[in-house]
């Protein structure tokens, strides 16, 4: 049982600063809400945010309220990168050191905002861009994006006679971002909060463009209970489907090793968006094999297998240094 003294001890350990307050309108178990809280806590108060249209923007600012405790601007779905770049240039001209953060969903980052993001990276703006990747256009009713994983069901990639959910593969955005040779790009997951904090602090200390892709389960869009979000996010990592990596100037620098690799089925079966893969027919069996092959490929190209401690125990801190190796 929690006594008054343990509660006050825990409070003392909480970060002092909260950039995103409770009382917003996110769904129970929303991965984006948790990720945004962790990012803003770690970034601290001296920041300004440009937020693309999407769930995060909607649930934090139902007119006339706002859950943000930091200067925050919403513009359009497609231009968070450009707005952030302008804010950074203006602050620089004024001689201010306030760090600019850009927030976008996967649709706002991988698809419609990609041009603005690419320009921001190429011009070298001092902005930390955070992509809250819930693998579909959730805000408008679960449409597929180029981040939606292969075979997932969305309202625009329904399984049926012609296809088993989404036909195409999930876009490898972090590789594309890293190909701009920016100082730092990384992936992270809400299942590993200390790893998110560490990566945000690292990016904040860099004077130049940095990028963080955070895997954020969406109970509504993925079809799992809200209290399963962390378990689902952890399995995405531990199956090899969502590798946790860091890239410096385009080269692979660190990975989170996986000492206890799980079969992809253990991740897929928790989510209704993959339920058609568990039908008793040959097509379903072949798709499951295909998805296992995708995970095996990730494990191989990033050298994920190994490590001594379970990654969950170490919360991603136990990464393996990979001496600035270039990767294709
Ligand atoms: C130019 C334009 N096209 C479409 C929309 C409608 N729209 C608003 S948010 C959104 C989806 C957002 O998806 P994502 O970026 O993945 O964020 P999520 O809601 O999943 O967090 C869409 C299609 C828009 N606002 N502007
Ligand atoms: Mg999304």
pLDDT at 106 over 80: yes
The residue whose CA has the least distance to atom 11 of ligand 1 is: 137
Alpha-carbon distance of 291 to 268, in angstroms, equals 10
CB 232 within 8 A of CB 270: yes
CB 122 within 8 A of CB 88: no
Alpha-carbon distance of 79 to 25, in angstroms, equals 24
Query: What does the block give as tokens for 195?
Result: 């790893």
Per residue in 280-315, pLDDT (tens digit) is 999 999 999 999 999 999 999 999 999 876 554 445
Q: What pairs with residue 133 in β-bridges? A: 215
The residue whose CA has the least distance to atom 21 of ligand 1 is: 55
CB 140 within 8 A of CB 152: no
Place of tokens 């379903």: 284
**Given phi > 0 = left and psi -120 to 50 = alpha, else beta, which region is 151?**
left
Alpha-carbon distance of 282 to 230, in angstroms, equals 31
Place of tokens 């089925």: 265
The residue whose CA has the least distance to atom 1 of ligand 1 is: 77
109 CA: nearest ligand 1 atom:
15
CATH code of the domain made up of 23-325: 3.40.50.970
132 CA: nearest ligand 1 atom:
21
Sequence-ordered list of residues with C-beta below 8 angstroms from that of 63, at least 6 positions apart, any chain? none
pTM for the predicted model, two decimal places = 0.93
Q: Is the dihedral of CA 153, 157, 162, 163 positive or negative?
A: negative
CB 310 within 8 A of CB 317: no
pLDDT score, position 309: 63
Sequence-ordered list of residues with C-beta below 8 angstroms from that of 210, at least 6 positions apart, any chain? 127, 128, 129, 182, 183, 184, 185, 203
Pocket of ligand 1, beta carbon within 6 A: 32, 53-56, 77-78, 104-108, 132, 134, 137-140, 145
CB 104 within 8 A of CB 52: yes
In the chain, where the domains are located:
23-325
Alpha helices in the chain (DSSP H): 4-13, 31-43, 55-60, 80-93, 106, 114-122, 173-178, 193-204, 219-222, 229-238, 264-268, 282-302, 311-314
Alpha-carbon distance of 178 to 200, in angstroms, equals 17
Best probe residue, ligand 1, of 77, 106, 113 (max atoms within 8 Å of C-beta): 77
The residue whose CA has the least distance to atom 26 of ligand 1 is: 77
Lowest mean pLDDT among 5-9, 127-131, 206-210, 320-324: 320-324
Stretch 169-189: mean pLDDT, rounded? Answer: 98
Per residue in 218-267, pLDDT (tens digit) is 999 999 999 999 999 999 999 999 999 999 999 999 999 999 999 999 99
Query: What does the block give as tokens for 226?
Result: 């809200």
């Amino acid at each position: 049982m929690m006594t008054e003294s343990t509660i006050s001890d825990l409070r003392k350990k909480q970060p002092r600063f909260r950039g995103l307050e409770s009382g917003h309108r996110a769904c129970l178990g929303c991965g984006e809400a948790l990720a945004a809280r962790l990012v803003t806590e770690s970034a601290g108060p001296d920041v300004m945010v440009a937020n693309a249209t999407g769930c995060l923007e909607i649930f934090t600012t139902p007119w006339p309220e706002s859950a943000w405790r930091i200067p925050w601007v919403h513009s359009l779905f497609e231009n968070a990168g450009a707005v952030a770049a302008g804010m950074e240039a203006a602050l620089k001209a004024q001689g201010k050191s306030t760090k600019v953060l850009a927030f976008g969903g996967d649709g706002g980052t991988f698809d419609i905002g990609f041009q603005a993001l690419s320009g921001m990276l190429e011009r070298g703006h001092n902005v930390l861009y955070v992509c809250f990747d819930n693998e579909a256009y959730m805000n408008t009713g679960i449409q597929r994006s180029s981040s939606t994983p292969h075979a997932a069901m969305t309202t625009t990639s329904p399984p049926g006679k012609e296809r088993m959910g989404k036909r195409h593969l999930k876009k490898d955005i972090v590789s594309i971002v890293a190909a701009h040779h920016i100082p730092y790009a990384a992936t992270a997951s809400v299942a590993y909060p200390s790893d998110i904090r560490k990566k945000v602090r690292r990016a904040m200390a860099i004077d130049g463009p940095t990028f963080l892709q955070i895997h954020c389960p969406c109970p509504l869009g993925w079809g799992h209970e809200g209290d399963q979000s962390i378990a689902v996010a952890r399995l995405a990592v531990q199956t090899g489907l969502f590798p946790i990596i860091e890239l410096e100037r385009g080269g692979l620098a660190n990975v989170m090793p996986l000492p206890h690799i799980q079969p992809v089925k253990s991740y897929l079966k928790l989510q209704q968006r993959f339920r058609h893969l568990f039908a008793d027919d040959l097509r379903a069996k072949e798709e499951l094999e295909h998805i296992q092959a995708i995970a095996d490929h990730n494990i191989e190209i990033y050298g994920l297998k190994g490590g001594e401690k379970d990654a969950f125990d170490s919360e991603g801190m136990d990464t393996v240094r990979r001496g600035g190796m270039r990767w294709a």
